[in-house]
């Protein structure tokens, strides 16, 4: 099914005539030819038609693909949902991306393939230098760009730990500044929170506990009721790390809350991750 046929199906389901939908956008003749795959229309007109249908392009694309994501879109979503410390999951993702690239070239997926390999190198004690060499061309290309877009922020957020701590902190702060342009764009709120959480760990690694605590408290003040449980648990656990480093105590209220939350969701992997991270930086 082509785009015109999909649009025709949606139009009919919504009860629009060709004339009503195309009015002041396209001639009925041009619109009819588009629906019958006899000619194309420009993007502006297509976007206006979707707006009149009260539909986003993402929803249209989802319908067009048979009520599922396009394979590339699904692959990208799966990549950015990965547990990046899981060697097995990274290997599976690398293999899946390489299989896709055998049939279709794609610059972004090639970057994601390289990032998978770089993150796998980080699993080895001596792998940092190799990881940095792999992502260096990606960073060189992106650092020269005047503007970053959502996919660029997502990509950069996955390679932060390949850089030195000081460089990663500066990149993260730069990302947050550039994201200010997107403050009215709902889709980046979770991304911003993820970057802030990454900054907190980078600052903890750099023993900048006061700064890390400021970042965490700001995030909790702004997003406490809307954070996914994983990010909230990580925030609380790292708040405990900072509190213990600044004012050691036998009481661990924030860590206890984090572990309680994770146990409710029966997320054993996250429970182990939080426990290991806390022991690494406090004990």
Q: In the chain, where are the structural domains located?
A: 3-64, 71-144, 164-283
**Under CATH, to which class is 164-283 assigned?**
mainly alpha
pLDDT value of position 20: 94
User: pLDDT tens, position by position, for the chain (283 residues)?
Assistant: 899 999 999 999 999 999 999 999 999 999 999 999 999 999 999 999 999 999 999 999 999 999 999 999 999 999 999 888 889 999 999 999 999 999 999 999 999 999 999 999 998 877 899 999 999 999 999 999 999 999 999 999 999 989 999 999 999 999 999 999 998 998 898 999 999 999 999 999 999 999 999 999 999 999 999 999 999 999 999 999 999 999 999 999 999 999 999 999 999 989 999 999 999 999 8
pLDDT value of position 84: 86
The per-residue DSSP string of the chain comes to --HHHHHHHHHHHHT--HHHHHTTTS-HHHHHHHHTTSS---HHHHHHHHHHTT--HHHHHHHHTTSS--HHHHHHHHHHTS-TT-HHHHHHHHHHHHHHHTTS--HHHHHHHHHHHHHHHTTSTT-HHHHHHHHHHHHHHHHT-S---HHHHHHHHHHGGGS-HHHHHHHHHHHHHHGGGGTT-GGGHHHHHHHHHHHHHHHHHTT-HHHHHHHHHHHHHHHTTTS-HHHHHHHHHHHHHHHHHHS--S--HHHHHHHHHHHHTT-HHHHHHHHHHHHHHH-
Asked if 137 and 118 touch (Cβ cutoff 8 Å), the reply is no
pLDDT value of position 124: 82
pLDDT value of position 125: 74
pLDDT value of position 187: 83
pLDDT value of position 222: 92
pLDDT value of position 146: 92
Largest CA distance in the chain: 77
To which CATH superfamily is domain 3-64 assigned? Answer: lambda repressor-like DNA-binding domains (1.10.260.40)
pLDDT value of position 58: 92
Alpha carbon distance 118, 127 (integer Å): 8
């Amino acid at each position: 099914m082509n785009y015109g046929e999909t649009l025709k199906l949606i139009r009919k389901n919504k009860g629009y005539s060709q004339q009503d939908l195309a009015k002041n956008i396209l001639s009925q003749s041009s619109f009819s030819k588009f629906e019958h795959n006899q000619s194309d229309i420009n993007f502006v007109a297509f976007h206006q038609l979707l707006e009149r249908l009260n539909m986003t392009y993402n929803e249209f694309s989802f319908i067009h693909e048979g009520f599922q994501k396009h394979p590339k879109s699904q692959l990208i979503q799966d990549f950015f949902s990965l547990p990046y410390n899981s060697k097995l999951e990274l290997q599976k993702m690398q293999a899946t991306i390489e299989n896709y690239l055998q049939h279709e070239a794609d610059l972004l997926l090639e970057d994601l393939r390289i990032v998978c390999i770089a993150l796998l190198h980080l699993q080895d004690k001596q792998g940092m230098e190799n990881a940095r060499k792999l992502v260096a061309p990606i960073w060189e290309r992106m650092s020269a760009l005047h503007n970053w877009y959502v996919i660029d922020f997502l990509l950069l957020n996955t390679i932060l730990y390949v850089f030195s701590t000081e460089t990663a902190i500066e990149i993260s702060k730069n990302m947050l500044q550039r994201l200010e342009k997107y403050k009215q764009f709902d889709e980046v709120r979770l991304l911003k929170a993820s970057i802030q959480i990454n900054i907190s760990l980078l600052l903890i690694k750099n023993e900048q506990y006061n700064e890390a605590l400021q970042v965490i408290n700001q995030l909790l003040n702004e997003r406490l009721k809307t954070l996914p449980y994983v990010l909230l648990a990580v925030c609380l656990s790292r708040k405990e790390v900072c509190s213990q480093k600044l004012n050691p105590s036998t009481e661990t209220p924030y860590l206890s809350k984090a572990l309680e939350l994770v146990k409710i969701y029966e997320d054993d992997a996250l429970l182990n991750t939080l426990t290991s991270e806390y022991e690494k930086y406090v004990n």
